[in-house]
């Protein structure tokens, strides 16, 4: 919990400066965030499955809609 003793105030981590210092007095109140050199987390397999299922479902509904329109003509 970033707490500045000088300002006597709690700071949310996203309100601090990028180096972890207090925005008011400049005192170091938190460790600087880790470098952004980490690999991004991979997309979960179940999200990919949901995406494929959604595309298949919407494709099927589009096909049904086109058939319905052709029957009306």
Which pLDDT score is estimated for 61?
A: 98
Whether residue 38 is contained in a domain is answered as no
Alpha carbons 22 and 33: distance in angstroms, whole number: 14
- 67 and 49, same domain (yes or no): yes
Place of tokens 């499955």: 49
Of 4, 8, 50, whose CA–CA distance to 30 is shortest? 4
Helix (H) / strand (E) element for 26: namely: none
Which pLDDT score is estimated for 49?
A: 98
Environment class of 11 (CB within 10 Å of its CB; exposed 0-12, middle 13-18, buried 19+): buried
Whether residue 64 is contained in a domain is answered as yes
Whether residue 55 is contained in a domain is answered as yes
- 52 and 27, same domain (yes or no): no
Alpha carbons 71 and 63: distance in angstroms, whole number: 12
pTM for the model stands at 0.48
- Tell me the mean pLDDT per 10 residues along the chain, length 73: 82 82 85 69 95 98 97 91
DSSP class of 2: -
């Amino acid at each position: 919990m970033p707490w500045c003793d000088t300002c006597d105030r709690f700071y949310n981590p996203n309100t601090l400066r990028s180096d972890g210092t207090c925005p008011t007095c400049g005192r170091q109140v938190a460790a600087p965030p880790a470098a952004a050199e980490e690999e991004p987390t991979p997309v979960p397999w179940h999200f990919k499955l949901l995406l494929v299922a959604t595309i298949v479902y919407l494709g099927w509904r589009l096909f049904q809609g086109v058939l319905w329109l052709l029957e009306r003509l």
